[in-house]
A and B are shown apart, each in its own frame.
Chain A
């Protein structure tokens, strides 16, 4: 059974810092991995999608990497801003299904 874990559960950093969020999964037979952002009480917004054959994806100040064999992904946020404060969730899709399996998220606070 696939399990997705995110560390840390919460993170507080001063504005301007570069930071890394971690995601690990137990079954490497994934089809793809996505990172999402969720603001309090809101739905999810997809940030980056990495196919299993890819190593990384970049969008603006965000960079996500995938090491399928070790079951790890990282989300790197450069030059953090208060507007980046939110919960970041990673989710994997397995080869055999369209459903996403989510981690519990990392709650990020960027202090001005």
Chain B
């Protein structure tokens, strides 16, 4: 098992462009999470999937943000019409069902909007 994988690791884009990040969770993990982290802060929750169903979504996830998890496997996070304030690290995490579930994070995808 190779852990949670995120791609790309780094992305520089011009303001107004669309970007998409991909996350491959640990195989057989049914829960998948997206978080955003800016420098000097802790991660902030964006959204959560159980299998293919998006069960919770933060108010931080504006209309420009959309996440999908087709077939309950990998997930994508798309940001449309990027703004400079979107510059952050986007973290994906996964966990298996159960009450005492440890959550495993990927290495993150850094986004810089110029």
Contact = CB atoms under 8 A, between A and B. Distances in A.
Interface string B72-113: 000000000000000000010100000110111111101000
B43 to A, nearest CB: 5
Given A97-B56, A99-B48, A99-B56, A43 B42 contact: no
Interface residues of B, number: 27
Nearest to B44: A102
Contacts of B100: 32, 49, 51
B33 interface: yes
Interface residues of A, number: 23
B45 interface: yes
Interface string A54-82: 00000000000000000000000000000
A34 B101 CA distance: 10
A110 interface: no
Nearest to B57: A99
Given A42-B108, A98-B48, A104 B41 contact: yes
Nearest to B42: A102
Most buried by B among A89, A100, A103: A100
Nearest to A107: B40
A18 interface: no
A45 B105 contact: yes
Given A97-B56, A105-B42, A44 B91 contact: yes
Interface in A19-56: 32, 34, 36, 41-46, 49, 51
Interface of B: 4, 31, 33, 35, 40-45, 48, 50, 55-56, 58, 91, 93, 99-100, 102-108, 110
